[in-house]
Amino acid sequence: MELLRKWLGHPEDIYNLLRFKMGGYRAVMPRNIPVSWVGGAFLALYRYLNQTSRSFAAVIQALDGELRHAVCIFYLVLRALDTIEDDMTISLDVKVPMLHEFHSYLYQPEWKYMESKEKDRQVLEDFPTISMEFRNLSKVYQDVISDICHKMGVGMAEFLEKKVDSQHEWDKYCHYVAGLVGIGLSRLFSASELEDPIVGQDTELANSMGLFLQKTNIIRDYLEDQMEGREFWPKEVWSRYAKKLSDLAKPENIDMAVQCLNELITNALHHVPDVLTYLSRLKNQTVFNFCAIPQVMAIATLAACYNNKQVFRGVVKIRKGQAVTLMMDATNIQAVKAIMYQYVEEIYQKIPSTDPSSNKTQQVIASIRAMSLPSNPMASRHHYSPIYLSCAMLLAALSWQYLSTISKATEEYVQAGEN
């Protein structure tokens, strides 16, 4: 009954979940790729895509034209690289050269790696299939993928044996693991001619797209990372609040922990103006959806985490109904600006007057407000007619158990946005 109580507290969630299932998903969910669109080895690639991340497979398959195949291969190449980096059974004297040279394996038809113990090892064991289709791409796509793979491999190797100390190093680490992905994708968008050249050329904005998402994940995942022995919060920040990063999880340190949390969220919010500028340049609808949905999920996640002690006690996630609402609404720049405005206002209302970062938080929110103040506020996002709310509450009472088992495809797509 806990699920029912949650839904009764947010009846609009039930309405939006139903709206999503009854056709709202068509604005963002992909069409299935007909077999005739892909041949031979590409069928294997899409199978690997579904096996390694069915949610990202759904997002990628929504893209138009040849861009779909280029991004599919880009994802699988980076998944293979990431699998090498994650595999703790590979000694550093083997792993570091592999990371440095991985981009060259794209041009070696027979190269594969059969000794990985990671769950996604199939992308390494059948790397010849991936590399073959990579070499079948237009040279303009090959150059982008190879270049990003090289830079990312070097960056991963750099951070294998060192922790993130300064805020500069935090930005650098996030650049290697996420900013480069944003840059690579942007260059692919422009190479496909679905977007203007400036999208791929402006690497600063593309980098901010990745940094905003990665910092959000790092902030939200503090406790999970601590439990698994990983540390990604910058020492320059957390050392002002605790002797060890793990000390922030101790109940007696919760006030200082929340202040540290708020400072990092304020840091992440500085990327939002770049995100809005980047999204305002996009013309293709499938590319816009692909880029915008994760960004609005991120701002909603930061709003949920801000000044929230639960970050140090468990998992903080946005509600499923909230997530599908964001997915259906974030289909144009004005809607995204309205969403950003809504959530920075939510953060603003929670700023403690005694918080050491309060002035900086207010300043960055003011800059976001200036860019995102909606000229036509989306009242439908916040105000539902009594009949809709009544119907939603009735459906909650009568059908909550059915609704709790939303289709797997929907769950996975929502999870993609959250991650």
Mark whether 68 is an active-site residue: no
| Local structure of 376: helix, strand or coil | coil
Please tell me the predicted confidence (pLDDT) of residue 43.
75
Helix spans in 64-202 (H):
65-86, 92-105, 122-125, 127-136, 139-158, 167-174, 180-191, 197-201
Mark whether 220 is an active-site residue: yes
Instruction: Please report which confidence band the pLDDT of residue 14 belongs to, taking 50, 70 and 90 as the band edges.
Output: very low
- Residue 250 in domain: yes
C-alpha 245/C-alpha 237 separation (Å) is 10
Q: Which range marks the domain in which residue 115 is found?
A: 40-162
| Token pair 């034209």 in the structure block, residue | 65
Convert the pLDDT of each residue in 42-84 to its tens digit: 678 888 888 887 656 777 888 998 999 999 999 999 999 999 9
Convert the pLDDT of each residue in 393-402 to its tens digit: 334 333 333 3
Residue 231's CATH number:
1.10.600.10
Please tell me the predicted confidence (pLDDT) of residue 29.
55
Average pLDDT over residues 207-218: 97
Same domain, 337 and 217: yes
Residue 407 has pLDDT above 50, yes or no: no
Residue 419 has pLDDT above 70, yes or no: no
Same domain, 100 and 220: no
- Residue 384 in domain: no
Same domain, 88 and 219: no
Q: Let me know: does 372 contact 337? Beta carbons within 8 Å.
A: yes
Residue 415 has pLDDT above 70, yes or no: no
C-alpha 318/C-alpha 215 separation (Å) is 16
Residue 17 has pLDDT above 50, yes or no: no
Average pLDDT, the chain: 84
Mark whether 230 is an active-site residue: yes
- The closest of 327, 336, 329 to 371, measured between CA atoms, is 336
Convert the pLDDT of each residue in 365-384 to its tens digit: 999 999 987 555 443 344 33
Name residues whose C-beta falls within 8 Å of residue 129's C-beta, 6 or more positions apart in sequence.
41, 44, 45
Please tell me the predicted confidence (pLDDT) of residue 45.
84
Same domain, 104 and 219: no
Residue 39 has pLDDT above 70, yes or no: no
Give, in order, the Cα–Cα distances in Å from 272 to each of 206, 266, 295, 324, 379. 12, 11, 9, 21, 22
Count of Cβ atoms closer than 10 Å to residue 337 Cβ: 20
The active-site residue out of 220, 232, 319, 341 is 220
Please tell me the predicted confidence (pLDDT) of residue 12.
52
Q: Record the tokens describing residue 236, joined without a space.
A: 């320059």
Residue 294 has pLDDT above 70, yes or no: yes
The secondary structure of 186-242, three-state, reads HHHHHHCCCCCHHHHHCHHHHHHHHHHHHHHHHHHCHHHHHHCCCCCCCHHHHCCCC
Average pLDDT over residues 86-90: 90
Same domain, 220 and 365: yes
Mark whether 173 is an active-site residue: yes
C-alpha 143/C-alpha 183 separation (Å) is 13
Q: Which residue has the higher pLDDT, 64 or 278?
A: 278
- What is this structure's pTM? 0.83
The active-site residue out of 74, 173, 212, 306 is 173
The active-site residue out of 15, 290, 341, 343 is 290
Same domain, 70 and 157: yes
Same domain, 243 and 351: yes
Residue 385 has pLDDT above 60, yes or no: no
- Residue 21 in domain: no
Same domain, 123 and 243: no
Same domain, 153 and 232: no
Same domain, 152 and 243: no
- Residue 306 in domain: yes
Tally the domains of the chain.
2
- Residue 386 in domain: no
The active-site residue out of 47, 135, 230, 240 is 230
Q: Let me know: does 209 contact 178? Beta carbons within 8 Å.
A: no
- Residue 355 in domain: yes
